[in-house]
Structure 1
Amino acid sequence: MYESFMRRCGKSLSSIFAVFCVLVAVSSVFAQTTGNLQGVVKDQTGAVVAGAAVKVTNTETGIVRETTTNEDGLYRVVNLLPGSAYQVEVTATGFSNRIVENVAVRLATENSVDVELGVQGASGEVTVTGEAPLINSTQNQLSTSYSQKQLTQLPYNGGSIDNLALLTPGVLTPGDADFTNGVGISANGNRGRSNNFQLDGQDNNDNSVAGPSLTITNTQAICDYQVTTNNPSAEFGRNAGAQVNAVTCPGTNNFHGSLFEYFSNNSLNARNNIEKQAGTAYRFLANNGFSQLEGLANRGGQNIFSNNRLGGSLGGPIKKNRAFFFATFQADIQNGEADTSNLGSGGLTFTPQSVQIARSLGFPGAISILGNTNVGGGPAFANVPGTFYVVPATQDTNGDGVIDAFVNPGGAFTNSLFVCNVAPAAGAPCPVANLVPLQTGEAIRISGNNSRSYQFITKEDFNITDKDTLNVRYIYDNTKFPNTPAAGGFLAGSFFDVPSKNNNLGVTYTRLISSTFTNEARFNFSRLDVKFGDPNGTLPAPGISFSGQRDVPGNFSSLGFGTANNLPQSRKVDVYQEQDTFSSA
C-alpha cells in the first residue's frame, strides 16, 4: 500500500516552487517553534516609560533583536528561539541602563519580563538575573513546557520522549482504549487518537493509526518539549486533545558535547507482579509432570533481557555568531527472550501429536495447513522461532489469580475432536472403537526478544544577515524488530519481521522585516516506510477457528490458530508541508 499526503493551506500555484499558506497573525500569535518576549518598562514610581530602547540578545548565538516601548511602556519581541540564555537591555534618556540576564523564552509562550529603571546617576548600570514566573499571566491556554535539563533528568522511564507527557497535569494513559502509535496519552478525558503531535512546528501525525509518525527517543536532540492540554492557540487546531510540540536543539557559539550509555538487564531489575504470577504457574506445572518447564520456574517467570542505549552529541560554531551545527546519534540494542502463555484462559490449541494423527488420517486441511512448516504464521507449533509447549488446561480454584489445578482429572489433555481411523461404510457412522481423539491444551511459548534502533539527528543554523536566518534539520530513524508477533498471534505462531525507516527534513527561513513585523516560511518532507512481514514473500497461513462448543463446557473461542488475514502488509507515506507565518508585534 502506498500513501502520499500533500497538505497545503492556500491556493495551488502553477509554479514549480512550493505552495505557501499565508497566515496573518494578530499580535497574540506566535510561531509553533518559537516564543515571544514582552514586558512593561516603568520607573521607580511605577510610571510607564515610553520610547525606551529594548535590546534582546541570545547570548548563545549572538542574535540581537531591538525594539522600543510604546506609549504604554510596552515592548514585545516575537519569534525568538526557545532558550534560557537571553539578555534584555533597556536604555532610556534620564535613566540608568538596566540589564536582565538569563532570561528564559519558552516554546509557544508569551514570556513576560517587566523592567524597572532607576534615575540616571543613582546607581549606574544595574544587572539582574531573570527568573521565569511560576504563573503565566499573559495567556489563557493550559500548557506545560519541559527544558532539555528536565528531559534528561526527569524519571519518565526512557523510550519515547512522549512518556514525558504523562507527567503533565490532566494527562494519563488511556489504557486498553489506546489504539495509536507510540505512547498512549489521554488529555482531559479525550481519546488517545485525539492528540496532535508536532516536530519543529510541523505535522508529525500518523494518519493511518494516529499517534506520532516519527518517535523521538534521543533526549539529547530536544531542547524544548511542550504539552498543551486546554485552550490552545488557533494556529495549532486539528485535534481536541493534547497539542504536543517538540523543538530540536540548535548549535551555539560554544562547543559542547556528550557521551552516554544506559544499561539494564534482568539481574538488575526486580520481578514485577505479572512475572511473579507466571513464575508460580510454571512452578506448579514443573512439579506436576512437566519438568521441561523447570528453567522457567527457577527464574520465577522473569524474562531474560539486556538493554543498551548508547550515543553522543556534538555542537558548536561553524562561524561565530553566524553559523552553528548540532548532531546527535543514539543506538538502542536489546537482546533476550520472552515467554507468554494463556494458562487458565480456557483457550486451547492442538497438541503436536494430534496434528500428526490428523495428517496421517487425511483430516481436511491437516496436510496443507495444520502441519505445513513452510507456511509463515502458523499453526502454533509450525516453523516459527522459539520453543513451544502445550500443557493440559489449568484453572485457579481459590480466586487468587494463580493457577493451582488442572481442569481434567489427573492432568489429562482435552479430547476436543474425534477422527475415524477407518473408512466406514457409506452412510454408516464410524465405529466407536475406531474413533481417535485429537487432543488440545493451553500454550506456552518462549521466543527471542531482540530489537535494534538507530536514530541520527542534525541541525544547522545560519544567521545570513542581521535580519535573515536559515535553519535546516534532518532526522534518520532505522528500527528493526525481527520475529515480531502479530497482534494476538504470539501463541498462535504468527511472527513477522517489522523493519521501519523514517526520513524527515525540515527547513525554516525567517525574515525580520522590521522591529514589529516578522515572516517565517517553513518546508518539511517526511517519508515513513514500514513493513509488517514481507509482502513479496511467503504468504502466511490463514486464520482458522472451529465454530461452536467443541471442548470445555461453555468455551466457544478455542481451537483458533494461524494469523490475521490482513497480514503481511506495508506502508510508505510521503508527507510534504509548506507554511508561511506573518507575525506582528
Structure 2
Amino acid sequence: MPQRVHRFLFAVLMIYFLMPSGAQSQSIGGGIVGRVKDQRGDSVPAALVQLVNTSTGQIRAVSTDNEGRYEAREVSPGIYNLTVLKGGFNTAKVSDVRLSVTQVVHVAEITLTVAPVGNETIEVRAAEIAMIETNSPALSTAFSQKQIRELPLLTRDINSLALLAPGVFSVRTFSFASTLVPFAVNGSRGRENSFIIDSVDNNEPLFGGAATQFTNTDLFAEYRIITNQYKAEFGRNSGSVVNLITERGGNQWHGSAFWFAQRDPLNATNRVERAAGLDRPAPFAENVLGASLGGPMQHESTWVFLTYQWDGARNDLSPLYPQVATLPTVRGLNALSRQPLTQTLSALLNDPTVGRLPLVAAPCFSFFAGLPANNPCTISGPPNNGITVGGTPIEFGSFLVSRAGIFDVRDHQTSFRVDHRLTEKDDLYGRYLFDDLRTPRTVGAAPLEVGFFDPGLMPSYHELFLQRTQNAGLFWTHAWPRALHELRGSYTRISSQLGALGVSGNAQETLPSVTVSDTFATSPAPGGTPAGTSAFLAAFPAAGNVFTMGRDTRPSRINSNLYQVQENISISRGRHSIKFGANLVRTLSNIRDIPSNLGEYFFAASASSGFQNFANNAPTFALQRFGNFGGRGGEELPLRQFSQFYFFEDDIRIAGSFTLNLGLRYENYGQPINRIAELNPNFGSQIQRDNKDFGPRVGFALGLGSRTVVRGGYGIYYNPTASSPISYTVTTLGCCKLPAA
C-alpha cells in the first residue's frame, strides 16, 4: 500500500475522532532479539533472519546490523522457527522459540559456519532462551494457553489468574462494582487496573474493571499482567495492565468440545446454611458447554477461529431465604372478580403471583410448630378482619412462595476471528466478541428491604440484571526490515438493564410501587395453632400485614459506545528500539437511573380500611421523583467524552546485559460531568480539562546471568475521573413532589 495511502487513512481517522466531547495505546506484541557471528567471533552484518510462525506459516523478516544484531519487534505471540541466511555461509535454523505477550526473547548467539562453494547445508539447533526477561524494567507474570486451560479455576473467570501474581489481591467482597473489579495491585484501587484484549481497550467506562467477563478459556492464547514499572506505551490507569490475546487459526484444522459441571453433592455446607438449620448444601447445579474450531480458509494466507460457550447455573436458596406473600385466597379471588374493577384492583388481579400462587398446592413452613402443613400459613379471621370491598368480605392468606430463592444465571459467549496475509509485508485481521448475560440481582428482596423494612414485595417484581457486550476490531500491520507500522480500530458497545424485567414492558414502565397495609391474615389457618401463628408472624413482619406490587423505579438502562483508533510505529536502529504512537477514544454513554421516577403509593387505614382505600384508588401518601434538572433534559443523561493519548519510548542497549528505557507519555481526559453543568444552572462552572498530564518514564534492567535480573525505574501515572459518581449524582439531583391522589 503506498505511503500516501497510509497517511490519508490515518488523517481521516484522526479527523473523525477529534470532535468536541479512557483508554491507552499499547501493544500485545513481543520481540525476538539476538546476534549473529561467524566462526572467528566476528559480527555478520546484513544477514537475513526469518521468523516463521509454526502455526500459520507467516514469515517476518529482519536483517542484522553492522554489529551482527537483529531485532524483530511487535511480533505476535506464538512459537517460531528462526532461519538465518547469508551468502557464503551455511543456513542456520533455530527451532521452537516461544514468544509470550509483550515478552522480549533473547536468543543465544547464532554462529554461521563457512559453506564450501556449491555445497551449502542447513544446520538445525535447539533454542537456548534465557529463563527470565532481562531487558525490560517492567515486572510481569504470564500464563500460557496450557495454563489457562488446565489450571483449576472454580468460577472459570480468567482474571482469577492474576491472583497468582505477586502484589495482587482479591477485592471482590468489598470493591465498588465488585462484579467488574476482581482484584487490586500494589495498594491501588481495584478500578485502577487497565484491561486490554488484542491491544484494544476492554475497560468499562463508568465503573471501571473489565467490560467483558469472558469465562471461555478456549478463547484465549495467553494472559499477562504487568504489575510494576510499565513503559510509556501503557497508561490510562496507575494499577496493573492486563494483556489478553485471542486464539487464532492455523494451517491445521483443530478444535475442542467441553462440558464443565458443578453439583451441590460435591460442596460442603457453609456457615449460612448451618445457621439456617440445613444439614446439606443448598441445591446447586451448573453446566458450562462449549466448543471451538480453527483452521485455514486458504492455506498459508487466511485463517479462521471461532468459539461458543453456554453457561447455565441454578442455585436454589429458598431454604436459606424463604419468602412469604400476602394474597387473596381462592375464595377471596372469586369475591374480588365479582366487584366493579378499579384501576388498582385490576392491577392486583393481573399480577402473575396473585393469579398463580393461591391455586397451587404447596407446603407451608415445616420448622414452625403449629402451622398447617400446606398453604395458606395464616388466613383472615372472622369476619375477615374487616377486609371488605363494597360490603363483600375478601379473604386473604399468607403463603410461603415455593422456589422463591431460585438464582438462575444464563450466559452466552461467542467469538469469531479471521487473519489474512495480504502481502509478505502486510497482515490484516478482524475479530468479533459477544457476551450476553442474564442474572438476578439478589435472592428474593434487596438486602436493605430485608434488613430494615420488609414491604412484602411480590416475587414477580424481583430485580433482574441483563448485560450485552459486543466488541469488534480491525487490525492492520505493515513491516519493513527494521520498522513496523500498526493501525487498529475498534468499536465496543455495552448495554445493561436492571429492574423488574420479569414482568411485561408496560408494567415495567408504568406501574408504580403500591404498598397496602392492613390486618389481612393474622389468624390461624385450618390446621394451625395460635402459638405457631404468633411465632410465624414475629419472624416475618410483612406476613399477613403488608403486600407490595410494582417497583417505584423504572428499570435502569445504561448504554455505552466506545470508538477507538490507535497508530503505533516501531523502529529498530543500532542499539535503539524506538516506539511512538497515538490513541484516540470517543465515549458516548446514556444513563437512565432515577430512583422513584414511577412513584410510591401507600394505602393505610384512615376512615376506611387500608385495602378499601386501595380498592377505591385513594392513597394515603405518595412520593415521586423527576429526573430532569430544573425542567431541562429528560430522564436519560447523555455523557460524552473524548480522550487522547500520545507516547514516545526508547529501549537503549547500553551493554549486552544492561538496557535503559526512556519514555514520555501525554494523557488528556475529557470531563463528562460537564454535561450536568449544561443541564443544571445551579451546578456551577464547568470543570476544565487538565492539559498538563505529562508522564515521564525511566527504567532499567540489568541481567546478572540467565536467572537473575535487577530492575528499577520511575514514572508518573494518571487515572481518569471515575464516571460512577456522576451516575450517582444524577440519581440524587432530581426534584420530588407528591402526586395528587
1:566 CA displacement: 5.9
Counterparts in 2 of 1:387 and 1:35: CA distance versus 1, 3 Å: farther
Is the contact made by 2:181 and 2:191 (CA closer than 8 Å) also made in structure 1? no
Correspondence for 2:428: 470
Task: Give the whole-Å Cα distance in 1 for the aligned partners of 2:449 and 2:489.
Answer: 42
| 1:131-530 paired onto structure 2 within 5 Å | 132-178=129-175, 179-182=177-180, 184-267=182-265, 269-274=266-271, 277-278=274-275, 281-282=276-277, 297=278, 300-339=279-318, 341=320, 446-481=404-439, 485=443, 488=447, 491=450, 495-512=462-479, 514-530=480-496
- Return the offset for 1:187: 1.1
Q: Which moved more, 1:181-190 or 1:560-569?
A: 560-569
Q: In structure 2, what residue type is equivalent to 1:249?
A: E
**1:101 maps to which residue?**
95
Alpha-carbon deviation of 1:275?
5.3
Which whole-Å deviations, capped at 9, do the CAs of 1:338-372 have from their partners, x for residues lacking one? 247589xxxxx99959xxxxxxxxxxxxx989x97
Query: Which residue in 2 is equivalent to 1:346?
Result: none
Quote the residue 1:50 is aligned against: 45
Q: Deviations over 1:319-339 (max 9, x none)?
A: 111111111111112234124
1:116-127 equivalence runs, <5 A = 116-120=110-114, 125-127=122-124
Code of the aligned partner of 2:74: N
% same residue: 27
Change in CA separation of 1:106 and 1:387 when aligned onto 2, cut-off 3 Å: farther
63-72 vs 246-255, greater mean Cα deviation: 63-72
SS of the residue corresponding to residue 107 of structure 1 reads coil
Paired amino acid for 1:130: A
- Tell me how far 1:181 sits from its aligned partner: 3.3
Q: How far apart, in 1, do the equivalents of 2:320 and 2:262 lie?
A: 25
- Say whether the 8 Å CA contact 1:351–1:390 is kept in structure 2: no
AA in 1 matched with 2:428: L
1:175 positional shift: 4.5
Residues 40-72 of structure 1: CA deviation (Å, up to 9, x unaligned): 224466554333321111122222122222223
Cα distance in 2 for partners of 1:565, 1:273 equals 35
Q: Which residue of structure 2 aligns with residue 77 of structure 1?
A: 72
TM-score by length of 2: 0.56
Q: 1:561 to 1:110 in 2, by over 3 A?
A: farther
8 Å Cα contact 2:156-2:217 kept in structure 1: no
Indicate if the aligned counterparts of 1:162 and 1:183 stay in contact, CA closer than 8 A: no
Cα distance between partner residues in 2 of 1:155 and 1:529? 31
- Give the drift of 1:165: 1.5
Moved more, 255-264 or 108-117: 108-117
* Change beyond 3 A, Cα 1:476–1:387: farther
2:108 partner letter: D
Deviations 1:536-582 (A, max 9, x none): 543587699x9xxxxxxxxxxx9999899666211121111111112
**C-alpha distance in structure 1 between counterparts of 2:547 and 2:208, whole Å:** 29
Deviation (angstroms), 1:466 = 0.8
CA contact (8 A) 1:197 1:212 kept: yes
Q: CA 1:561/1:464 → structure 2, altered by over 3 Å: closer, same or farther? A: farther
- Is 1:89 matched with 2:83? yes
> Match for 1:134: what amino acid?
M
Tell me the amino acid that sits aligned with residue 334 of structure 1: A
Q: Report the CA distance between 1:108 and its aligned residue.
A: 1.7
Change (3 A) 1:476 1:163: same
Deviates more, 1:95-104 or 1:40-49: 40-49
Are the counterparts in 1 of residues 37 and 112 from structure 2 also a CA contact under 8 Å?
no
Match of 2:507 in 1: 538
Tell me: CA distance 1:114–1:277, structure 2 relative to 1, closer, same or farther (3 Å): same
Equivalence for 1:571: 558
Is the contact made by 1:20 and 1:580 (CA closer than 8 Å) also made in structure 2? no
Alpha carbons of 1:483 and 1:236: their partners in 2 closer, same or farther (altered >3 Å)?
closer
- Give the SS at the match of 2:223: strand
Q: 1:387 to 1:56 in 2, by over 3 A?
A: farther
1:6 aligned residue = none
Deviations 1:228-262 (A, max 9, x none): 11112222201111111211111111111111111
Alpha-carbon separation, structure 1, partners of 2:318 and 2:464: 18
CA contact (8 A) 2:51 2:83 kept: yes
SS in 2 for 1:251: coil
Aligned Cα RMSD in Å?
Answer: 4.8
Deviations 1:403-454 (A, max 9, x none): xxxxxxxxxxxxxxxxxx99xxxxxxxxxxxxxxxxx9xx998521222211
Q: Does the 8 A contact of 1:44 with 1:116 survive in 2?
A: no
Distance 1:30 1:145 in 2: 20
Task: With the length of structure 1 as denominator, give the TM-score of the two structures.
Answer: 0.70
**Greater relative contact order (CA < 8 Å, ≥ 6 in sequence):** 1
**Gaps in structure 2 of 5+ consecutive residues:** 1-6, 19-23, 328-342, 369-384, 387-397, 451-456, 518-540, 573-741
Contact 2:196 2:203 (8 Å CA) reproduced: yes
